[in-house]
Chain A
């Protein structure tokens, strides 16, 4: 059986042969061109929402990475707005939802497409309720090149990374000359194991068909050594050590980027696709919140709060590597809802160096959530929802020592289902190694549920999306008072208040000062301003209650009108006309 033995060949063939003219299947895994076609069709259909497609750039192999933007139209017309250089007057606080940074995880793209379709179908009132004054941007798949492996003909093989050619074994020969192969002709490429004195792995008694590392502290001794299912095609003594895979985009962003590590790339933001995404975000200062679907997580288990750095001069600052406790509070409502609705899975890795969500939080100062939608092998002890924050003693483990069971976000997931994803170990006579066994996880099974589960996953994510949309900073001009002190002399006072659920800036942004400031601008001539500044940079205002007073002394004539502009960092400016009394 090829690939995921649940979704089967029929669906795969159906998607692969889909033409642009046809409607793509609504809930399925889609090839890049079909995914883009589906997005374009969605944008072209009748909807109460204003929908626009933007190409954010191209991948290394030239595939177009599309963003789909949705909002409630300000006017009823469907007149397009220049989304690339949107005038400030049109700004709405943006929520960016990204997926497909990992080539082996396709579920995020399908869920995003489902969410976009759901919103496009909404009647005007629920639409206005959901989107409100927000701009919603979906980028369903970034690593379009790497994800095409899922649909490739021939034996199914799960490889991480994009299509960049890397000489993994650094042997200076032809690239990818020793890729894994389907030795036993079962249509899938899995793993080989061999009993050997140097073995470090043992059978996991609690998970039939899986292995775990032997724990020497418990007196266990390794039995197997493990390789990819491969020959030694280049006769260098290693097996499948030069596979056909490239840079992992989910590790190619600057925060915590791992230098001299081939899967992370030659340098941060080295890949056309990651650069396109970074430039897209940087060119849109109105993006306030980011949600990433993939195998990363900071929602199931909240990040650990770090010791807060004091405001030092720039020359003495060091890089922040842990969340500010106040910023974790911004993720808590999502965490609570995701657990309540079983909408997230625990990540099987502790922390990801160079992830997109970390770059957008630590360096851009945005609210940035990462949800792991699915993992067929979530450790048992972490399967139950937890409301605990991540701390050193309860961090998830990468060690496959725990028992595996069904995980919370998989509808109808069961031990039986998981077993379908594991190929039982079968004896094989390897031309070089001799007696071995072939088996283990089937390609793509662990991170991608059967397509019939997609609709229910979309339904579980919709409340999360709605909650994220309902939470933002909302600055407003409060009390504006102008009084005459004496003839020709006026005192102006104005309050700026934050009515939103988020502070006007995250704590991280008050520290890194990357995102643009909220501004208060009094439009008067230099001569008429006796005291106070024409342009004020507004310090961060707390959620709900944050307010700050500004004061000016003006020269003028009764009846003259002046303008006060509030220009929030993420939304369009507000202007108040003030007539001097």
Chain B
């Protein structure tokens, strides 16, 4: 009873209008439904509506084109009046690298909508838009998305892009795909009745389903696999469908060839979609945090993808753990996990590229947990059936129907539809959108926030002055991850001093020690531009000191690819 009440309450919440998530009760500036899935064309139109509604904050561009020529839309969201884009920490969010993992695109659209609708309404949102930059790409596999939405598929097919591949090495490309024989937009299952000669029998508890017979028992059915015919007459069904590679294994981070890592492609970034995203990240060194949306399983995943690096440095782990554990609270039924330890090995994954090649704090969320159906972690093998019957009016399942198969003769086709698992039931989509959007905005709030303070005093000699500069990072994410510092990824941070002609640097040193009163690190080379390879750490500060000869004010600057640019003037 308790769970039924809870379910009813959840349904009530989800049924309320989209703008219920805003602080204001007035109608939203832009109406957008979050109880449906949009195809690539519709996503393009929605992004343009964002630009038209909020031109001061939005730019819509393309990262490149997919194999079939679709634009790889990316929306840039920022307040241009508060400073140059490349001097602000940026968050990159994308989704749908696997064609069938669609709902991340709607989470991306919701994130954009939420930020724009609530600018000026919610203080933290306003601050985010003013201080940060968001790059949001709702679908980075637009061919795969449209294929999944508009063609017959299962919930698991197809992850790939649409470049034809000879999966069965018979010299022909994509010549034996699954076939939507009954034309219902799904790839279902096929079964054949073979009286007393089969491997399966009807489930006595529910005659819509088959169960395997026990040893010594005979069944009335054989299962023939997914809906399809032997298009190439090689005796096998559906063995060479569209695509057949994995763009989430095509990135240059611990990339391994296809004989080691299925779907890797002939070389890193061989696929135009993966290459476009990779180049976008390479060209935006201000990106300090990355979020990628997949489905399914309710997971907040971080790297490493494989044990080629045993673990991330301890300093980075503290950051990941803090964000991941917060995420597990924001997202009920989601677990914070490490890819290679808790799930499986991934070579050439996208978040691995972002984290391990580019030194960016990066997460992948596997959207939708089966536990969300009845809001319980209790294992119930019949949960999908009950959910279909009790909540979805039976719409997720197709009854068995007879079909005349060219190879198998009289068979039946039926089973679960492509929306029966992995994707959110549409009425439950908005909550997933909101909670995941908040998870990423939470990450964005943790991106580096640097302040620069400088003090000047006379001495140590009569004609010299001492300038002490404190660079503070008030955020959880460091200006450079420990991994970036270790591997010398990107540029170090720089703390510099601009001198007039009459001025001269006599010495530069880092101030350290528990009381910040030891000046034991003398910087011998290039004292006017100090190189901070390890950046400014998580919620910490670094202090430096210059001894200067010559009169007049001094301009101090701090430059960081991910921590932004700051400057201050001391002295007179």
> Contacting A237 at CB < 8 Å: which of B171, B252, B526?
B526
Asked if residues B491 and A167 are in contact (CB atoms below 8 Å), the reply is: yes
Asked if residues A363 and B257 are in contact (CB atoms below 8 Å), the reply is: yes
Question: A513 — nearest CB in chain B belongs to which residue?
Answer: B259
In whole angstroms, what is the CA distance A210 to B170 when docked? 58
Asked if residues A260 and B487 are in contact (CB atoms below 8 Å), the reply is: yes
Contacting B at CB under 8 A, from A159-193, are 167, 170-173
Which of chain B's residues have a CB closer than 8 A to the CB of A235?
526
Question: B232 — nearest CB in chain A belongs to which residue?
Answer: A535
Q: How far is the CB of B474 from chain A (nearest CB, A)?
A: 23
Given A254-B255, A514-B258, the answer on whether A533 and B235 have CB atoms closer than 8 Å is yes
Q: How far is the CB of B491 from chain A (nearest CB, A)?
A: 5
- The B interface is mostly helix, strand or loop, or mixed, namely loop
In whole angstroms, what is the CA distance A241 to B508 when docked? 22
Contacting A at CB under 8 A, from B249-277, are 252-260, 262, 266-270
Q: Which of B262, B524, B526 has the most CB of A within 10 A?
A: B526
Contacting B at CB under 8 A, from A237-271, are 237-238, 253-255, 257, 259-260, 266-270
In whole angstroms, what is the CA distance A254 to B261 when docked? 13
Q: Is B233 part of the binding interface, using a Cβ–Cβ cutoff of 8 Å?
A: yes
Q: Is A416 part of the binding interface, using a Cβ–Cβ cutoff of 8 Å?
A: no
Asked if residues B171 and A517 are in contact (CB atoms below 8 Å), the reply is: yes
- Chain-B contact segment, one of A36-44, A66-74, A314-322, A454-462: A314-322
Asked if residues B234 and A172 are in contact (CB atoms below 8 Å), the reply is: no
Which of chain B's residues have a CB closer than 8 A to the CB of A359?
267
Q: Is B332 part of the binding interface, using a Cβ–Cβ cutoff of 8 Å?
A: no
Q: How far is the CB of A474 from chain B (nearest CB, A)?
A: 19
> Contacting B266 at CB < 8 Å: which of A267, A317, A363, A526?
A363
Contacting A at CB under 8 A, from B264-318, are 266-270, 278, 282
> Contacting B257 at CB < 8 Å: which of A237, A266, A319, A534?
A319
Which of chain A's residues have a CB closer than 8 A to the CB of B520?
none
- The count of residues in chain B whose C-beta lies closer than 8 Å to any C-beta of chain A is 38
Contacting A at CB under 8 A, from B430-486, are none
Which of chain B's residues have a CB closer than 8 A to the CB of A88?
171
Q: Is A129 part of the binding interface, using a Cβ–Cβ cutoff of 8 Å?
A: no
> Contacting A269 at CB < 8 Å: which of B170, B267, B489?
B267
Q: Is A567 part of the binding interface, using a Cβ–Cβ cutoff of 8 Å?
A: yes
Asked if residues A171 and B256 are in contact (CB atoms below 8 Å), the reply is: no
Given A237-B524, A319-B260, the answer on whether A267 and B234 have CB atoms closer than 8 Å is no
Q: Is A207 part of the binding interface, using a Cβ–Cβ cutoff of 8 Å?
A: no
In whole angstroms, what is the CA distance A253 to B252 when docked? 11
> Contacting A260 at CB < 8 Å: which of B170, B266, B488?
B488
Asked if residues A260 and B234 are in contact (CB atoms below 8 Å), the reply is: no
In whole angstroms, what is the CA distance A525 to B24 when docked? 70
> Contacting B259 at CB < 8 Å: which of A170, A173, A511, A535?
A511
> Contacting A519 at CB < 8 Å: which of B170, B270, B278, B524?
B170
Q: How far is the CB of B428 from chain A (nearest CB, A)?
A: 33
In whole angstroms, what is the CA distance A171 to B235 when docked? 62
Which of chain B's residues have a CB closer than 8 A to the CB of A533?
234-235
Which of chain A's residues have a CB closer than 8 A to the CB of B529?
171, 173, 236
Given A238-B525, A267-B268, A319-B260, the answer on whether A172 and B170 have CB atoms closer than 8 Å is no
Q: Is A512 part of the binding interface, using a Cβ–Cβ cutoff of 8 Å?
A: yes
Q: How far is the CB of B268 from chain A (nearest CB, A)?
A: 5
Given A172-B491, A254-B267, A254-B268, the answer on whether A267 and B357 have CB atoms closer than 8 Å is yes
Q: Is B192 part of the binding interface, using a Cβ–Cβ cutoff of 8 Å?
A: no
Q: Which of B171, B257, B267, B487 has the most CB of A within 10 A?
A: B267
Which of chain A's residues have a CB closer than 8 A to the CB of B252?
257, 259, 266-268, 270
- The count of residues in chain A whose C-beta lies closer than 8 Å to any C-beta of chain B is 45
Asked if residues B559 and A535 are in contact (CB atoms below 8 Å), the reply is: no
Q: How far is the CB of B85 from chain A (nearest CB, A)?
A: 18
> Contacting B171 at CB < 8 Å: which of A259, A362, A519?
A519
Asked if residues A512 and B257 are in contact (CB atoms below 8 Å), the reply is: yes
Asked if residues B170 and A535 are in contact (CB atoms below 8 Å), the reply is: yes
Which of chain B's residues have a CB closer than 8 A to the CB of A517?
169-171
Q: How far is the CB of A530 from chain B (nearest CB, A)?
A: 13
Q: Is B494 part of the binding interface, using a Cβ–Cβ cutoff of 8 Å?
A: yes
Which of chain B's residues have a CB closer than 8 A to the CB of A535?
170, 232, 234
Asked if residues A170 and B257 are in contact (CB atoms below 8 Å), the reply is: no
Q: Is B531 part of the binding interface, using a Cβ–Cβ cutoff of 8 Å?
A: yes
Asked if residues A318 and B260 are in contact (CB atoms below 8 Å), the reply is: yes
Which of chain A's residues have a CB closer than 8 A to the CB of B489?
260
Asked if residues B234 and A534 are in contact (CB atoms below 8 Å), the reply is: yes
Which of chain B's residues have a CB closer than 8 A to the CB of A128?
none
Q: How far is the CB of A319 from chain B (nearest CB, A)?
A: 5
Question: A255 — nearest CB in chain B belongs to which residue?
Answer: B257
Asked if residues A516 and B169 are in contact (CB atoms below 8 Å), the reply is: yes
Q: How far is the CB of B504 from chain A (nearest CB, A)?
A: 12
Show 22 residue pairs from A and B whose CB-CB distance is below 8 angstroms, ordered by the A residue.
Answer: A167-B491, A170-B492, A172-B491, A237-B526, A254-B255, A254-B257, A254-B267, A255-B257, A257-B255, A259-B252, A266-B282, A270-B252, A270-B269, A278-B270, A314-B259, A362-B257, A363-B257, A516-B169, A517-B171, A526-B233, A533-B235, A534-B235
Q: Which residues from chain A sit less than 8 Å from chain B, CB to CB?
A: 88, 167, 170-173, 234-238, 253-255, 257, 259-260, 266-270, 278, 282, 314, 317-319, 359, 362-364, 511-514, 516-517, 519, 526, 533-535, 537, 567
